[in-house]
Every structure is written in C-alpha cells, then in structure tokens.
Amino acid sequence: MFDQDDLEQECIKEYNLGQISLKIKSKSMHIGVSRSVWKASLALAQYLNTNSDNFDVMKEKQLQILELGSGPGLSGFYASRYFKDSKVFLTDICIKSLNLIKENIDINKEVLNQNQLSVDFFEWGNFTRSSENEEHYQNKDEFPTNYEGQFDLVIASDVVYIPEFLDPLLKSIQYFIKPQSGRCLLVNNKIRQDLFIDKFDQMLLENKLDAFVNEEFDMDEDKFRVFIMRLKD
Ligand SMILES: C[S@@+](CC[C@H](N)C(=O)[O-])C[C@H]1O[C@@H](n2cnc3c(N)ncnc32)[C@H](O)[C@@H]1O
C-alpha cells in the first residue's frame, strides 16, 4: 500500500514582493490541494501592495487579522509584514497544512515576527469546538467560539472552488468580521470564481455581505477576481 506521504513532492521556493523575501516550503500531491502555494495567494499579497488605498488607513492600527484556508501560509505571512502591528491568525482544516505553516514560520524566522502569528485549526462554518478536534486547536483562548465579530480583516485566497463549501465559507466571513469597520479581502483565480457567477451575488446577500469592491486583477499572465466585503448594516 502507498503511504500518501510517499506521493508528496516537497520544494522550497523564494517569493519577492514589496521588498520582502519569503521562502515557502510547499508540497504537491496527486490528490488534495492544501499544501501548494496557489497563485491567488501571491495575487492577494500583490493586491495589498499595489491597491493600498483601501487598506492604508488600517495600517496605522493594531489589527486582528484572520486568514481562512491558509495552505502553506504565504498571504498571511505577507499580511503580517504589511500590517506590522497586527496579530494574524492563520487557519486551515488540514493538519498537515498547519504543520507546514509552522515549518514556514521557522524557515522565515529572520523576516517574520513570530509573536504576530498564531496557527489554528478551523473548519469553515464550524464555530464550536468538538472533542474530536480539540487537540488541533492550538490557541487555548477559545478560538473560534469567542471570536465572533472580532476581526478587523479577514483574508482568503483561492478558496472558492467546491460548491458545498461556499456557504460555510461565507458564513465564516460573516461570523468573524467586525460589524461596521471589519473588511474581508477575498482573491480567487478568475476561472474558478466564474464557475459560481450565477449564484455568488445571491449568496453574499443571504450572508449579509456587501462586496463594495468586485474587480478583476491581473498578475503576470493570470487573471484574478478580487472582492472587498463588509457586513451589511
Ligand atoms: C486551493 S487551497 C488555497 C491555499 C492558499 N490560500 C493559497 O492560495 O495558496 C484551499 C485551502 O482551503 C483549505 N480548505 C478547504 N476546505 C476547507 C474547509 N471546509 N475548512 C477550512 N479550510 C478548508 C484547504 O485545506 C486549502 O489549504
């Protein structure tokens, strides 16, 4: 029998954005998608750098930032450098991804401030800890239960691709962002996002989310769709 780990190929690649250089270890596999760096995560970091108007005002503050579906952690790491005084919670449902994020924090310890970063298990739409998952919650401070409406910024890249996960994902954004001032920056590969073109707007409405920015963003040869959302009043 194959051990799934035998099918994984590991690599460390250097990424340079806004004069910040990060080395990210990732794993590619025959099945599953969680341990690769997806281009949308680079696009998210790039968007923060080049379209800073929407975020510059937030830079002055000590923010609480949450990343949903972090994978190996690239966009969360860049967010922690962009918003220097922030606390960034990187989350994923995949335990191996969480371990990879921790390895990547260690690999980049000269560049990242470890005190800014927290790595946690989170399954979209599941806001209650269960005994089954308790061991995976690293943060003893009752995350996610006590974090409703606590995040100034929620970020996520390349997370819109499985129809059943879309509603739990949007419910999670709605649950975590601060009323009024909270924002969510969601960046998806355009081709994948377009699969949901018919129902995405309606689903945002059902989840009380207002996408006040909904635009295409080009990086290299690729096209992405960027949403900046807030809670509807
Ligand atoms: C395509 S990857 C994107 C990873 C990373 N954001 C990037 O852009 O490189 C999607 C990520 O979402 C995570 N994910 C998928 N379904 C999830 C769920 N129901 N709850 C939490 N995380 C989930 C996967 O484990 C994976 O890390």
Q: How many domains does the chain have?
A: 1
Contact 153, 59 (CB under 8 A): no
Q: Is the pTM of this model over 0.85?
A: yes
CB neighbour list of residue 188: distance below 8 Å, 6 or more residues apart: 40, 157, 158, 159, 160, 224, 225
Phi-psi region of 187 (alpha: psi -120 to 50; beta: other; left: phi over 0): beta
Nearest CA to ligand 1 atom 25: 34
How far does the centroid of ligand 1 lie from the alpha carbon of residue 131, in Å?
22
Contact 112, 81 (CB under 8 A): yes
How far does the centroid of ligand 1 lie from the alpha carbon of residue 92, in Å?
6
Q: Which residues does a 6 A CB cutoff place in the pocket of ligand 1?
A: 33-34, 37-38, 40-41, 69-71, 92-94, 97, 122-124, 157-159, 165
User: Which ligand 1 atom minimizes the distance to the CA of 37?
Assistant: 9
Contact 102, 136 (CB under 8 A): no
CB neighbour list of residue 92: distance below 8 Å, 6 or more residues apart: 34, 69, 70, 71, 98, 101, 121, 122
Pocket test for ligand 1, best of 24, 34, 143 (most atoms within 8 A of CB): 34
Domain of residue 207, residue span: 4-231
How far does the centroid of ligand 1 lie from the alpha carbon of residue 33, in Å?
7
Helix 74-82 vs helix 39-50: angle between axes, to the nearest 10 degrees?
A: 10
How far does the centroid of ligand 1 lie from the alpha carbon of residue 127, in Å?
17
Residue 72: its pLDDT value, please? 94
Contact 163, 194 (CB under 8 A): no
Residues of the chain with pLDDT under 50: 1-4, 6, 30-31
Residue 2: its pLDDT value, please? 39
CATH classification of the domain holding 181:
3.40.50.150
Residue 198: its pLDDT value, please? 86
Element (H, E) at 59: helix 53-59
Residue 141: its pLDDT value, please? 66
User: Which ligand 1 atom minimizes the distance to the CA of 161?
Assistant: 1
Q: What tens digit of pLDDT does each residue of 183-212 get?
A: 999 999 999 999 998 899 999 999 999 999
Which residues is 230 bridged to in the sheet? 210
Closest CA to 145 of 168, 129, 123, 169: 129
Cα–Cα–Cα angle for 65, 80, 99, rounded to 5 degrees: 85
Residue 159: its pLDDT value, please? 94
SS (H, E, C) 179-226: CCCCEEEEEEEHHHHHCCCCCHHHHHHHCCEEEEEEEEEEECCEEEEE
Q: What tens digit of pLDDT does each residue of 209-228 get?
A: 999 999 999 999 999 999 99
Residue 7: its pLDDT value, please? 54
Could you give the residue ranges of the DSSP H alpha helices within 67-189?
Answer: 74-82, 95-107, 163-176
Residue 54: its pLDDT value, please? 80
Residue 33: its pLDDT value, please? 52
Residue 57: its pLDDT value, please? 75
